[in-house]
Structure 1
């Protein structure tokens, strides 16, 4: 069984939005000043070198505009070689491959790809998919890159209505830029007193 890891770049107040989208978000690319070779290397190491990716359609469209043209480096090469599993109603318009549409049932599509042989699967940039995966117990790990900024507005990592869950801290590492990487293992329903 392949692991599904959720990776997210997030502000201290839980914002994950990096683009203006339809709501005129004022802090486009707020994480750019913190990007460093050390951070890139830590991200790549967390991916495990070889991986596949799970993306929502919006994230796919954003990433496909950059990575196929990016200069060759370990991260770009691994991402371009990865199979991209896309949650979309328009699979015929996908071009950045290799790719596969998940089909009309996201939960069943993710269960299917997790049961196949292959490298671990990384989800990037989708609060909508994140909530669904957690609700159905499909995420094995959550890796947060927490930036030392408050944004006050923007799309939050966990959507309203995301079910209560427990996580176990696996590791935590501070990068010289001020980013703290924390990896959590899904530990089931919320535990209360």
Structure 2
């Protein structure tokens, strides 16, 4: 069975909006973190907004990382999009939890949710997320969209943590099943 992995850039207070992240120089350790994710990826699951941002940027990028990233199958969670043109891509049918449960049963590599906070929140709430991978930036934003909803606590078990020279910490968690 494929695993569903949420990957996010966040502040220490849990804000996951790109515009709210402190300015930190990208470094080799962060690059390796993203390269490792790409090597582990069998597909992407994106919400409409993230899909549109990525589709407007990535197809024009070149190089090994971009070529591999662009080639991944993309599943788009949207009720407003009628077509997707960043191939290979398809719009998911039906309620998101049921569509993702079906995807997880299919053959293929792990499915990564990039950004797409509303998608990540829904899937965390439905118990469909197998791992959460975070690049935690050194700073608190105090406001903005949070990865974890304030009305539904999510218990997590630490898998790994690695600080980088630029103050960013790579963290990986596994959600703890509700009992």
Q: TM-score, normalised by structure 1?
A: 0.85
Could you list the structure 1 runs, at least 4 aligned residues long, displaced by more than 6 angstroms after superposition.
Answer: none
User: What is the Cα deviation at residue 155 of structure 1?
Assistant: 1.1
Structure 2 CA distance for aligned equivalents of residues 137 and 175 of structure 1: 30
How many residue pairs are counted as aligned between the two chains? 179
Q: Aligned to 1:144, which of 134, 137, 151?
A: 134
Q: Aligned to 1:131, which of 118, 121, 125?
A: 121
- DSSP 3-state at the match of 2:90: strand
Structure 2 CA distance for aligned equivalents of residues 32 and 68 of structure 1: 26
Deviations 1:162-188 (A, max 9, x none): x33322111111112211011011221
Equivalent positions of 1:46-61 (< 5 A) are 46-61=37-52
Structure 1 CA distance for aligned equivalents of residues 36 and 156 of structure 2: 21
Residue 39 of structure 1 corresponds to 30
Structure 2 CA distance for aligned equivalents of residues 152 and 113 of structure 1: 36
Aligned-pair Cα RMSD in Å: 1.8
The answer for unaligned runs of 5 or more in structure 1 is 20-26
Determine whether 1:114 maps to 2:104. yes
- DSSP 3-state at the match of 2:155: strand
Residue 13 of structure 1 corresponds to 13
Residue 182 of structure 1 corresponds to 171
Moved more, 60-69 or 36-45: 36-45
The answer for unaligned runs of 5 or more in structure 2 is none
User: What is the Cα deviation at residue 152 of structure 1?
Assistant: 1.8
